[in-house]
Structure 1
Amino acid sequence: MLDFFSEDVPWAEPLAEGAVILRRRARDEAAGLMTLVSEVSAQNPFHHRITPGGHRMSVAMTNCGNFGWSTDARGYQYSVQDSATGKRWPPMPERFRALAAACAAEAGFEHFQPDACLINRYEPGAKMSLHQDKDEEDLRQPIVSVSLGLPAVFQFGGFERGDAAQRVLLEHGDIVVWGGPSRLRFHGILPLKPGIHPATGAFRYNLTFRRAFR
């Protein structure tokens, strides 16, 4: 792992071993990222998924890449097509892939090549309960999570759901990378507070890059 206080990555803020926030890392290219989000969602519109337990998720989702993550009555899964439409997910923009690979490398995870990007859209009151990202084949690969738009409180906990969790504010352009010894930590987002952001209006967007399959 890199030295998080290295002058080479002056915006790095450590969370835990193997986990770091890259503050404002994507702010300068956020407008271009949001343009690509709009292009992806024009092909596969945001949709509130239903969990296996029958609950409607408060967060609206779309995906791009070779695989997409979704949930329905059958459970949580990665697939090459959207079960709701029967169509393949839109291709992942190269700009997305390059950003994820670069940020993973800055956090000490070289050669990360994501094959899935889950895009979450939060409106006021939307949240993401504490959970682990564990549906991927190779848990040696990190998670790269990009925040755009309204600020949100990120919870980063331990390895059991009931463990104490840090609460940190994520703002427009912040990127969180976690892997290695922190790969299976529970994490989530507290209910989004109302607001208007000049780049995204009344919403927060989160781009989560994963390597779903080896």
Structure 2
Amino acid sequence: MHVLITGANRGIGKAMLDQYSAAGASVTGTQRGAGDLHRLDVADPASIRTLAESMADAPLDLLVCNAGVYADKGQSLDDGYPPQMWAEGFATNVTGAFLTVQAFLPHLRRSKAGKIAIISSQMASDTRAPGGSYIYRASKAAALNLGRNLSTDLARDGISVGIYHPGWVRTDMGGAAAEISVEESATGLIARFAALGPENTGCFETWDGQQHPY
């Protein structure tokens, strides 16, 4: 089994990489800057193409679009949320996810049953609107919509697409007061990916297997 995980140098991405590796999977982990993993900046189309081309004709069984940013935490409605922050948030959380899927489609099609997992958030749901975090909420809602539409178009190729809320996790993004550890989140998400198939493609689920309202 070959798995590619974006943003795998820390947090949930690293925990998933570690668990897949321990289980014997072939894992391609990526990170934005220099380091031990493959370099991939999802906001840089050339970077995405370079990694995809380096994989040549290798099949890919699971693409996990995990890389994301949450730069607008604590921004003020009166004078915050500058235009560049919007552009950068969507470039990573939405456009980056789409371009990554697009670049690796040939590899996913070479798998007998390719899968795409898009890490969104419960903050994407229109049932949760407590205010604030406008860029993150809007971009994760767009990522949810992206995954739903990809699931329709890719069904003919036998590629299943799932969208997931990873939980409120103790990471740099989630904070120290969050409910679960990165290991708990990763374990739950990996189980969700394993259960993903044509019968539930387009699902929006929580890390622990609950259906999340759109």
Would you call these one fold, judging by a TM-score over 0.5? no
Determine which structure has the larger strand proportion and give its number.
Answer: 1
Higher relative contact order (CA 8 A, sep 6+): 1
Determine which structure has the larger helix proportion and give its number.
Answer: 2
In the superposition, the TM-score normalised over structure 1's length comes to: 0.29
